DNA sequence: GAGTTTGAAACT
DNA sequence: CAGTTTCAAACTC
């Protein structure tokens, strides 16, 4: 525990990019090496050491200690992560050290947490390292991994976690005594209320984890897994979500409770046919709701939450990285980045704003598949570009924007490290058998300490 | 401002 | 996965 905390602390201190991760994607990658088909159609379920399937209609296939094999049951779409049994020797090459670039957690997007497919793919991680038999190490997590990590803390992987127990599992609201629920809501603040409101809005049409309360249902709650108080789980997840959504993971993101960014500065869209619910719409693609736009039949607003979330889910199902910023960050301190996907320009020479690289004021890279590109380092045309000099508007603007937003130092690493600290605190509280209120206080205290350090860093960076 | 061009996203 | 269609922004006149 202390090691974990130290590690996260280091990450907070220096924003290290590499840290220990036991993630679902690593697990899935490993499964691929075992020729286990985990991407067969709409229904994906698998059963492997340490993984607890859950969902409706699925037969619990469990972990075969004898064979150590994986079996597919194509009935449900969800799975859960649990630490592998202590007596299960890691027969697999294990993997812990993962690096990744930036990712995006769309504004008010519970789907990242709810949709395990996000954890199945995307974000390449390097392999290597050792299996952590004592459970997962939570650090440097992606949003999907936060879900997995939260689920994986639960040390209880007994056989009584079959589908039946999950089917019978009540939602948090049903599970908790009313007084606890109330205090939980007030403690978790508007985000909880908002998400519950969303759950309610989605109702039976929701294609998420639970027909009743999708977000809350993704938590490992239930009569037989109650070793951890429900409010802790919810606090952790919601806190992680809240933390992520209120930081600068994406420059255009707005927090649920208000905008860190001036939405008025957002460029208005002019969509006519997409209802602003497809990635054609820049607002939607950037995780923004439309405001002051010129769009027609817009559904990308708070009045159409349900449609909006369904659209988000469709996009994420199609491409888990759909809302990832197209321009990845460069190295620390650099202004320029790199187009994650690369452009495919054919006629513009990548010297017009049709080109996403050019539009982002960056050079094309090996990732691009453009034809006749003139947007490269030594291109004569590029050398005359207005944004090529540090004295140009672009550079001035970039610096200005950075100065304007001291929160830009809240990087993904910092968010992840914070989440890691909170999870570590939760683990410790559980281990020590603290009462619910004590555990909550510990986590909140930890969060306060994290925030203090972040604020210190901000003051440090802005004063220098 | 209307029409054209362009390339990303969506679809088949 | 490649080809085609749809879409909205960028561009031109």
Name the nucleotide with the smallest C1'–CA separation from A370. Answer: B7
> In this structure, are A420 and A385 located in the same domain?
no
Name the nucleotide with the smallest C1'–CA separation from A341. Answer: B8
> In this structure, are A417 and A284 located in the same domain?
no
**Where on strand C do bases come within 7 A of a protein Cβ?**
6-11
pLDDT in tens, A11-51: 444 444 333 333 334 433 443 433 333 333 333 333 332 23
pLDDT of residue A413: 62
> In this structure, are A310 and A331 located in the same domain?
no
Ranges of H-type helices in A76-210:
111-114, 117-120, 143-153, 163-167, 172-175, 178-188, 190-202
Name the nucleotide with the smallest C1'–CA separation from A295. Answer: C8
> In this structure, are A296 and A417 located in the same domain?
no
Q: Indicate yes or no: strand B within 7 A of the C-beta of A354.
A: yes
pLDDT in tens, A68-85: 333 333 333 333 333 333
Name the nucleotide with the smallest C1'–CA separation from A268. Answer: C9
Output the distance from A334 CA to B10 C1' rounded to whole Å: 34
- Of A318, A337, A357, the residue that ends a domain is A318
Q: Indicate yes or no: strand B within 7 A of the C-beta of A245.
A: no
Q: Cα separation of A322 and A412, whole Å?
A: 17
Domain count, chain A: 3
The string of DSSP codes covering A8-32 is: HHHHHHH--S-EE---HHHHHHHHH
Tell whether A148 is covered by a domain.
yes
- Determine the structural domain holding residue A288 and report its residue range: 263-318
Task: Tell me if A289 sits within 8 A of A301, measured CB to CB.
Answer: yes
> In this structure, are A22 and A140 located in the same domain?
yes
Question: What is the 3-state secondary structure of A376-397?
Answer: CCCCHHHHCCHHHCCCCHHHHH
Q: Indicate yes or no: strand C within 7 A of the C-beta of A352.
A: yes
Output the distance from A269 CA to C9 C1' rounded to whole Å: 9
Residue A185, token pair as written in the block:
């809501």
Tokens 């004295």, residue located: A391
Q: Indicate yes or no: strand C within 7 A of the C-beta of A270.
A: yes
Give φ, ψ of A462 to 5 degrees: -80, -25
> In this structure, are A292 and A354 located in the same domain?
no
Name the nucleotide with the smallest C1'–CA separation from A349. Answer: B6
Per-residue pLDDT of chain A (464 residues; tens, 9 = 90+): 444 445 445 444 444 433 333 333 443 344 343 333 333 333 333 333 223 333 333 333 333 333 333 333 333 333 333 333 344 433 333 322 233 333 333 333 333 333 333 333 333 333 333 233 333 333 333 434 434 433 433 333 333 333 333 333 333 333 333 333 343 333 344 334 444 444 454 443 333 332 233 333 333 333 323 333 333 344 444 444 443 443 333 333 333 333 333 444 578 999 999 999 999 999 999 888 998 899 999 999 999 989 999 999 999 999 988 888 888 765 444 445 788 889 999 999 999 999 999 999 899 988 899 999 999 888 777 766 655 444 343 433 333 343 444 555 666 666 767 777 777 788 778 877 888 888 888 888 888 877 777 776 666 655 55
> In this structure, are A437 and A307 located in the same domain?
no
Tell whether A198 is covered by a domain.
no
Q: Cα separation of A395 and A372, whole Å?
A: 26
> In this structure, are A130 and A34 located in the same domain?
yes
Tokens 């003139």, residue located: A374
Q: Which residue is nearest to nucleotide C7 (CA to C1')?
A: A280
Output the distance from A144 CA to C1 C1' rounded to whole Å: 27
Neighbours of A289 (CB within 10 A): 22
SS3 content of chain A, % helix, strand, coil (to 5): 45, 5, 50
> In this structure, are A129 and A102 located in the same domain?
yes
């Amino acid at each position: 525990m202390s090691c974990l905390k130290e590690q996260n602390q280091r990450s907070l201190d220096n924003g290290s990019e590499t840290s220990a991760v036991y993630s679902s994607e690593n697990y899935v990658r490993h499964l691929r090496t075992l020729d286990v088909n985990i991407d067969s159609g709409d229904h994906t379920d698998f059963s492997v050491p340490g993984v607890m399937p859950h969902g409706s209609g699925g037969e619990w296939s469990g972990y075969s200690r004898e064979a150590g094999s994986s079996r597919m049951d194509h009935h449900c779409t969800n799975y859960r992560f649990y630490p592998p049994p202590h007596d299960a020797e890691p027969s697999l090459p294990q993997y812990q050290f993962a690096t990744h670039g930036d990712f995006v957690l769309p504004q008010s997007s519970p789907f990242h947490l709810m949709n395990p497919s996000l954890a199945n793919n995307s974000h390449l991680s390097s392999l290597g390292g050792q299996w952590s038999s004592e459970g997962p190490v939570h650090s440097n997590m992606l949003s999907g991994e936060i879900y997995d990590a939260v689920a994986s803390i639960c040390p209880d992987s007994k056989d009584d976690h079959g589908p039946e127990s999950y089917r019978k599992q009540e939602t948090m609201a049903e599970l908790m005594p009313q007084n606890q629920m109330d205090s939980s809501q007030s403690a978790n603040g508007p985000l909880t209320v908002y998400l519950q409101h969303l759950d309610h809005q989605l109702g039976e049409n929701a294609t998420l984890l639970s027909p009743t309360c999708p977000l809350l249902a993704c938590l490992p709650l239930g009569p037989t897994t109650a070793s951890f108080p429900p409010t802790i789980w919810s606090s952790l997840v919601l806190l992680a979500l809240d933390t992520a959504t209120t930081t600068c993971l994406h420059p255009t993101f707005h927090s649920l409770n208000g905008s860190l960014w001036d939405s008025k500065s957002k460029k208005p869209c002019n969509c006519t046919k997409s209802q602003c619910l497809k990635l054609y719409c820049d607002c939607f693609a950037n995780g923004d709701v439309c405001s002051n736009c010129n769009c027609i039949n817009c559904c990308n607003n708070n009045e159409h939450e349900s449609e909006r979330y369904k659209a988000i889910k469709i996009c994420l199902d199609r491409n888990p990285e759909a809302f990832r910023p197209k321009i990845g960050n460069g190295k620390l301190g650099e202004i320029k980045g790199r187009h994650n996907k690369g452009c495919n320009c054919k006629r513009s020479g990548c010297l017009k704003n049709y080109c996403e690289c050019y539009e982002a004021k960056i050079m094309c890279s090996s990732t691009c598949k453009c034809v006749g590109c003139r947007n490269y380092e030594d291109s004569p045309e590029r050398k005359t570009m207005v944004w090529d000099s540090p004295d140009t508007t672009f550079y001035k603007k970039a610096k200005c924007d950075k100065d304007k937003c001291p929160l830009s130092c809240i990087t993904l690493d910092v968010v992840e490290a914070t989440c890691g600290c909170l999870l570590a605190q939760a683990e410790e509280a559980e281990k020590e058998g603290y009462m619910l209120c004590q555990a909550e206080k510990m986590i909140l205290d930890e969060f306060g300490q994290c925030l203090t350090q972040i604020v210190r860093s901000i003051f440090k960076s802005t004063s220098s």
